[in-house]
Structure 1
């Protein structure tokens, strides 16, 4: 009820009795004292009503700006994280399964033992609701971009998402080549800058080619299912860990950071090892090429660690009916968002 209506009702109920009381006591010698007390009581009633009306205003969402983090951070022990995830999964109460099933289940971060192609995901995740998958092209001796692909339908959305990433990477490669060609001069600095642009073009082209062929690049997924279904996923050969997150209710306020398959002891930035030689000093990226490419849309994270927020649709069953193609997004929260393009690495 509005404050104005309350005040009008207060006037209608209090003023007539007060008027009659004042009239009866008008001839008494204590008339001034009664009038003073009546004025005080009336003022207190009006003030209390106004304060109550102000305090009764609706309270907004107090969770705005809060972010829930699920996964690992740089420097964390990977074996310790795996043990903690297994313990949390075993501790999920079986008595709450019916209620959770009605609400769609519990969110969980599924980490894979190795990079898998999209078609293998149907075997690993086909019977649970999938929200997003994490991917990365493992190139020997190079640090590549971590991408997230909203994927309600596995593997169709994953394949379509890889096609979109491939198109963006091809554009990035062409942009790096154009920048390299635009560098004038033959000094040491100019040569190093051209080498850095050429290295960026090489990495982007390799990523594009891999995604075009539906590479074995997926290493984690965000799912939602009942505790029994999550424990079933954890028992499959390709699954490394299932980290349940019953505290998560909104994906757009959650950051998932799964460990990479090659991270076995301590979480570090991904730098693949292989037959290729270690990059030289001249191959290390300069600040000028770490900025977003002019042609790259806001999309995937280019930082070493997969610190991303997932605003994709929340699945409520294993096979949603949505047919819209996936889109790529990063965190809307400025505190956890990452740059939108990749850079060559040592």
Structure 2
């Protein structure tokens, strides 16, 4: 804009003035021609300002960078969410298409399942990742997101990795607690908190190491007809199709926990990500996006995050 104004001021206006001075034969004609030139320059300036301030329509690339949330949100009724997901899937089934179009979907389970029980439930679709959590009575545990292209093998491998991390967390927490040996009331309480957290971390490590019944959701990619078959299986609570998801690294999936029967709670546990499996096919069949992002996400939970994590604990962050 500044370059355009400078060009008009330094080049266009002087040339117009010289031309009018040569062509004008009298004072009246000179004033008339000068006035016309000034009006023309002002019109050009107004046009340039309008062009620079005109709103630009968002491009497809900018729309693709928006984060998409799929699942339940804080305060939402979980049964209502399941009915809405069913309605959306029914709508996809009714759409006339020349050929079946695959879409991502969030599959929520009615109960926690072990890795070997996932095959009959998720068979027939491309699995992208699963969500797992150790349901310990009286303790708040973390949810983990495990990339899994082959089940149950990738789920078992991911659980083994999470088990090693949680075992390391338990050792770190015990070492921190051992350094607090004073009789100060605050430090005594802090020490007990560290010891309690280390006990929970150790229990999680043992459960994942044994291939526990901990999986409660999965992200899959399939045609609406295949998703409808998954939704009809008794182990499945809801299948939430997400045709708006184009890139997995720009999506946040929030599956409900099996024990959440009413509204989704306000608290959210941290979700860590296991290292993606070394599979020859890093992308499920028919997928249009990249492999799952290794960045942490968040999922709903029934309580706050497990406190007092050590520096080596599983990394976590709130969803955008």
Q: Which TM-score tier does this pair reach, normalised by the shorter chain?
A: 0.7 to 0.9
User: Of Structure 1 and Structure 2, which has the larger fraction of its residues in strand?
Assistant: 2
d(CA) in 2 for partners of 1:74 and 1:41? 59
2:194 alignment partner, one of 176, 193, 197: 197
Moved more, 196-205 or 59-68: 59-68
What is the RMSD of the two structures over their aligned residues, measured on CA atoms?
4.3
Whether 1:329 and 2:291 are equivalent positions in the alignment is no
d(CA) in 2 for partners of 1:15 and 1:87? 69
The residue number in structure 2 matching 1:26 is 25
The residue number in structure 2 matching 1:41 is 40
d(CA) in 2 for partners of 1:199 and 1:308? 20
Report the CA distance shift for 1:17/1:177 in structure 2 as closer, same or farther (over 3 A). Answer: closer
The alpha-carbon deviation at position 41 of structure 1 amounts to: 0.8
1:252 and 1:331 in contact (8 A); partners too: no
1:153 and 1:319 in contact (8 A); partners too: no
d(CA) in 2 for partners of 1:79 and 1:238? 15
2:82 and 2:238 in contact (8 A); partners too: yes
d(CA) in 2 for partners of 1:308 and 1:220? 15
The alpha-carbon deviation at position 234 of structure 1 amounts to: 0.5
1:255 alignment partner, one of 236, 252, 255: 252
TM-score if structure 1 supplies the norm length? Answer: 0.68
The residue number in structure 2 matching 1:276 is none
The alpha-carbon deviation at position 31 of structure 1 amounts to: 2.3
2:170 alignment partner, one of 168, 173, 180: 173
Report the CA distance shift for 1:150/1:181 in structure 2 as closer, same or farther (over 3 A). Answer: same
The alpha-carbon deviation at position 86 of structure 1 amounts to: 1.4
d(CA) in 1 for partners of 2:156 and 2:244? 31
The residue number in structure 2 matching 1:146 is 143
TM-score if structure 2 supplies the norm length? Answer: 0.73
1:111 alignment partner, one of 108, 112, 116: 108
Count of equivalent residues: 294
Deviations 1:170-229 (A, max 9, x none): 111001111221111245544433332221111101111111122211100122222111
Whether 1:164 and 2:161 are equivalent positions in the alignment is yes
Q: Give unpaired runs (5+ residues) of structure 2.
A: 309-320
d(CA) in 1 for partners of 2:214 and 2:51? 59
The alpha-carbon deviation at position 63 of structure 1 amounts to: 5.0
Whether 1:84 and 2:84 are equivalent positions in the alignment is yes
Whether 1:225 and 2:236 are equivalent positions in the alignment is no
Report the CA distance shift for 1:81/1:177 in structure 2 as closer, same or farther (over 3 A). Answer: same
The alpha-carbon deviation at position 30 of structure 1 amounts to: 2.3
1:343 alignment partner, one of 300, 303, 307: 307
The alpha-carbon deviation at position 93 of structure 1 amounts to: 4.5
1:94 and 1:227 in contact (8 A); partners too: no
d(CA) in 2 for partners of 1:46 and 1:126? 65
Q: Give unpaired runs (5+ residues) of structure 1.
A: 270-302
Report the CA distance shift for 1:45/1:81 in structure 2 as closer, same or farther (over 3 A). Answer: closer
Report the CA distance shift for 1:42/1:75 in structure 2 as closer, same or farther (over 3 A). Answer: closer
Report the CA distance shift for 1:156/1:318 in structure 2 as closer, same or farther (over 3 A). Answer: farther
2:149 and 2:284 in contact (8 A); partners too: no
1:242 alignment partner, one of 239, 256, 260: 239
1:146 and 1:304 in contact (8 A); partners too: no
The alpha-carbon deviation at position 145 of structure 1 amounts to: 0.8
